[in-house]
A = this chain, B = another copy of it.
Amino acid sequence: MKLLEERIRKDGTVIGTEILKVDSFLNHQIDVELLSEIGKEFKRLFEKDNITKIVTIEASGIAIACLAAKEFGVPVVFAKKSRSKNIGTEVYTGKVHSFTYGVDYDITLSKKYLSSEDTVLIIDDFMAKGQAMNGLIDICEQAGAKIGGIGIVIEKGFQSGGELIRSRGYHVESLAIIESMDENGITFREQ
């Protein structure tokens, strides 16, 4: 997605060769107009998949999922990173390993809001090693929901997540795939 790649080049900050900060428009401050365009692109890419629900993970997936859901006309449900007092006991639970913080944590999603009648589009802001995505897929499988597709805003193509998830047979679309980056610039994969 050219608009997104240009924005990453203009406003993203590369630290070393692995960290890309996009907190000026994607995951701290949020450019809602850009997210509307991203939502339209996801709609175009997954419009034949009969999506009934968009699943994401708090916090930075929520904004992207909601603007996409507006295009699809379906609800969003987001997995929570800690067991909230108000979520109840009837939950699906997935495990996620965070390489940033060096810990495992559980994500939970209430059984009331995901079932075998759903065809899900899973959306997240980043995919690197695919840890959060594995947890979300696990939750969808527990629910018996069909995974209609997986939509990622920025994939770190030099890490293993994209290949791992695609090798499991899922329809994955990443709007920008970074082949490599350093302080001199970013190289995107041709798509």
Chain A residues within 8 Å of B, Cβ to Cβ: 19, 21, 23-25, 28-33, 35-36, 58-59, 62-63, 66-67, 69-70, 73-78, 80, 85-87, 100-101, 109-110, 112-113
Contacts and interface: CB of A to CB of B under 8 A. Distances in A.
A64 to B, nearest CB: 9
A77 B27 CA distance: 9
B63 A23 contact: no
Given A33-B73, A85-B101, 19 more contacts: A23-B110, A24-B112, A28-B78, A28-B110, A29-B112, A30-B62, A30-B66, A30-B69, A30-B75, A32-B76, A36-B70, A58-B58, A59-B59, A59-B78, A59-B80, A62-B62, A62-B63, A63-B76, A67-B70
Contacts of A32: 66, 69-70, 74-76
Contact of A66 (B21, B25, B63): B63
